[in-house]
Amino acid sequence: MDLSFVILVEIFYAVASLALISAGLAVVFGMMKVINLAHGEFMMMGGYATITAVQLGVNVFVAMLIIAPLIVGLIGLVVERLVIRHLYGRLVDTMLATWGLSLFFIGMATMIFGNTTTSITTPITGFAVGDYQINGYNFFIFFVSAVLLISMYVLLKTTRLGLIARGTMQRSDIAAALGYSPDRIYMATFFCGSALSGLAGAVLAPLVGLVPTSGGAYIAKAFITVIAGGPSLIVGLISSSSLFGVVNQIFTFGISPVFGDVALLIAAVILLRLLPQGVTGKFFKGKM
């Protein structure tokens, strides 16, 4: 009984963290069609921003939920203006340029923070269920990603801003003819996507020891989640992260954490082979 509760919590945590990792990429790649291979490094910088802010005496939740997204969003803004802006519509080139950016950020972080592991303690203590100890922070992650997905849905679906953004991504020329500047909207969307990546990195920072190359651990998972999700942003994100999260946890508990990761990746390869348009390319068509 206790064990099944623990497993349930772990599955929810796995799903939530996958959704959280992928949210920023879903905006940048899913909406803007920019293959951001520096996504993992944006998360890494979010983590470093949090840790630095906490060490300077800022409250940990303020650091995670406000400071880190802002800083990473601003970095994203600079990157968009300097590099990405020139490459919209050139899929492979964005991929290569962002790969270069990711190497650049890794090098930067190595020079500033050194090639050592930094970490902060989790701000929420755990509690016991029967013989097992559960990390209370898991619930916080679940809460954050639920709030995030709901607010993304509301923002994109019901507000005028979301409508303009979605319209511009579909037909930027029409949006321009209607008097909106695609350039600015792209800029703002990239800012939001980077800020989301920064938030994800910040929220996950207390759980992992941070090194400059931490980003590499996220990037593949984020990509397969977004691509397997398919064209519908939020529904795709939820369905693919649920699928992969469950697969991951079943194999983690059944065999070992490494096999959990390997099983997730194999599941992704099989899924993409069967449904090359992603889950929402086949099911839940036309949803947001």
Partner 1 sequence: MSRSWGRQDAATIVAAIVLIWLMPLLISTYTLTVLVIYGMLALSLGLIWGFGGILCFGQAAFFGLGAYTYAIAAINVGESTLPMILAVFVPALFAALLGAMMFYGRLTDVYLGVITLVVTLILFKFVNSSAGPQYVIGEARLGGFNGIPGFHTLNIPGQPDEYIWGDALYYVCAVALLAVYFLVTWLLRSSFGRIAIGIRENETRVSLMGYDVRARKTILFAIGAAIAGLAGALFANWGEIVTPGLFSLGQSAEIIIWCIVGGLGTRLGPIIGAAGLAYLKFLLGQQSLIDNTLIMGIILVLFVLFLPKGIVPAVASLWKASFGRRSGRKSARRRHMRRVDSANG
Pairs from 101-104 (Cβ < 8 Å, separation ≥ 24): 101/37, 101/38, 101/41, 102/37, 102/38, 102/40, 102/41, 102/215, 102/219
The only residue of 58, 70, 207, 265 in contact with partner 1, by rule CB under 8 A = 265
Q: Which span sits near partner 1 by CB under 8 A: 50-58, 60-68, 98-106, 231-239?
A: 98-106
Nearer CB in complex with partner 1: 159/277: 277
Longest dimension (CA), the chain: 64
Going by C-alpha positions, the residue among 232, 244, 234 that lies closest to residue 282 is 232
Q: Is 11 helix (H, G, I), strand (E, B) or coil?
A: helix
- From residue 51, give the alpha-carbon distance in Å to each of 56, 110, 221, 274: 9, 15, 23, 42
Helix residue spans in 39-124 (DSSP H): 39-55, 60-62, 68-82, 91-113
Q: Shortest Cβ distance from residue 109 to partner 1 (Å)?
A: 9
Nearer CB in complex with partner 1: 102/249: 102
Cβ-contact 54, 207 below 8 angstroms: no
Q: Which span sits near partner 1 by CB under 8 A: 48-56, 95-103, 121-129, 197-205?
A: 95-103
* Contacts with partner 1, 62-91, as mask; x by CB under 8 A: ---------------------x--xx---x
- From residue 164, give the alpha-carbon distance in Å to each of 76, 173, 184: 21, 12, 11
Q: Which span sits near partner 1 by CB under 8 A: 128-136, 162-170, 192-200, 261-269?
A: 261-269
Q: Which span sits near partner 1 by CB under 8 A: 170-178, 183-191, 244-252, 256-264?
A: 256-264
Count of residues near partner 1 by CB under 8 A: 39
Q: Does 255 bind partner 1 (CB under 8 A)?
A: no
Contact residues toward partner 1 (CB under 8 A) are 35, 83, 86-87, 91-93, 95-97, 99-108, 110-111, 216, 219-220, 223-224, 227, 256, 258, 261-262, 265-266, 268-269, 272-273, 276
